[in-house]
Amino acid sequence: MLAPALLCAHLLLAAPASRAWPGAAPDEPGPGAVAAQLSDMHDKVTAIWQQLTQRAAEPGAPGSALHAACRVQPSASLDAAQPRVSGLVLFRQPAPGAPLEAFFHLDGFPAERNGSRRAIHVHRFGDLSPGCEAAGPHYNPRAAPHPQHPGDFGNFAVRDGRVRKHRGGLAASLAGPHSIVGRAVVVHAGEDDLGRGGDPASLDHGNAGRRLACCVVGVCGPLPWERAAREHAERRKRRRDSDCEAA
Ligand SMILES: *[C@@H]1O[C@H](CO)[C@@H](O)[C@H](O)[C@H]1NC(C)=O
Ligand SMILES: [Cu+2]
Ligand SMILES: [Zn+2]
């Protein structure tokens, strides 16, 4: 029972400081102030959680990074006309609270739509048995509009039916109260309008279209990430070499 007691003590101590919002009347915080307070409280809880869980490993020390994998499978509810997209999404976070990086390896997009862009997001639920619709809406723990959800990864260009992409600086986390572990990664048929669609749905899910494929994020060891990083480096080297030959 030590941890919850500690948490409460910290929150009580933190409360007076978090009331002083610039521009907010002291006794009637507006909706913006409430959102800011919630956000501030989340940051504090995350910090406390980190202190409680980082006894074993210092951040940045070898072996302290968090890893997760998501084995992408075609949605069980697809009709015959839809492409069967599958692949692997890998995540690495150097420490809880640090920015997340990810590899997106996907195959099975129609080759005739070369250069098309497809949205990928983290959705709320991890039960995908009836199809990717069961993943529910975007994972949105802070009640923010799209595309400010932690798992709004944006659009991915398809080349020759494939996505091979490394992204860094992602807002999602593999630890803490808003961890994406156990939730779903969903690959869409369409492009994310990134909140600029001009309709309410745009601020909800970006009008990214059908759900082609999905998977549940699960904790894993460092080996899949190391292999993907090696392959990524080799691909870049090959591309550099062929650019040199062309020049
Ligand atoms: C698809 O596009 C990429 C560049 O975006 C190009 O290198 C490749 O040759 C194209 N493939 C086809 C089949 O047109
Ligand atoms: Cu989505
Ligand atoms: Zn979103």
**Ligand found nearest the CA of 143:** 3
Q: Give me the pLDDT at residue 59, please.
A: 53
**Ligand found nearest the CA of 144:** 3
Written as tens digits, the pLDDT of the chain (247 aa) is 344 444 444 443 444 443 444 444 445 556 678 778 877 887 787 777 666 665 555 555 666 899 999 999 999 999 999 999 999 999 999 998 899 999 999 999 999 889 999 999 999 999 999 999 999 999 999 999 999 999 999 999 999 999 999 999 999 999 999 999 999 999 999 999 999 999 999 999 999 999 999 999 999 999 999 999 999 999 999 989 988 877 6
Residue 188 alpha carbon to ligand 2 centre in Å: 6
Those residues whose beta carbon sits under 5 angstroms from the ion ligand 2 are 121, 186
Class of domain 66-236: mainly beta
Q: Give me the pLDDT at residue 22, please.
A: 47
Catalytic (active site) residue 146 = yes
Q: Give me the pLDDT at residue 45, please.
A: 76
Catalytic (active site) residue 188 = yes
Residue nearest to atom 7 of ligand 1 (CA): 159
Residue 160 alpha carbon to ligand 3 centre in Å: 27
Atom of ligand 1 at shortest range from CA of 114: 1
Q: Give me the pLDDT at residue 54, please.
A: 58
Cα–Cα distance, 144 to 153 (Å, whole number):
15
Residues with CB under 6 A from ligand 1: 111, 114-115, 159-160
Q: Give me the pLDDT at residue 238, please.
A: 93
Catalytic (active site) residue 138 = yes
Domain regions of the chain by residue span: 2-56, 66-236
Q: Give me the pLDDT at residue 48, please.
A: 74
Dihedral in degrees, nearest 10, Cα atoms 130, 131, 133, 137: 100
Secondary structure of the chain as H, E, C letters: CHHHHHHHHHHHHHHHHHCCCCCCCCCCCCHHHHHHHHHHHHHHHHHHHHHHHCCCCCCCCCCCCEEEEEEEEECCCCCCCCCCCEEEEEEEECCCCCCEEEEEEEECCCHHHCCCEEEEEEECCCCCCCCHHHHCCECCCCCCCCCCCCCEEEEEECECCEEEEEEEEECCECCCCCECCCCEEEEECCCCCCCCCCCHHHHCCCCCCCEEEEEECEECCCHHHHHHHHHHHHHHHHHHHHHHHHC
Active-site residue, from 67, 105, 118, 123: 123
Rounded to two decimals, the pTM is 0.80
Hunting for tokens 């409460």 — which residue is that?
8
Active-site residue, from 149, 164, 183, 205: 149
Contact 92, 66 (CB under 8 A): yes
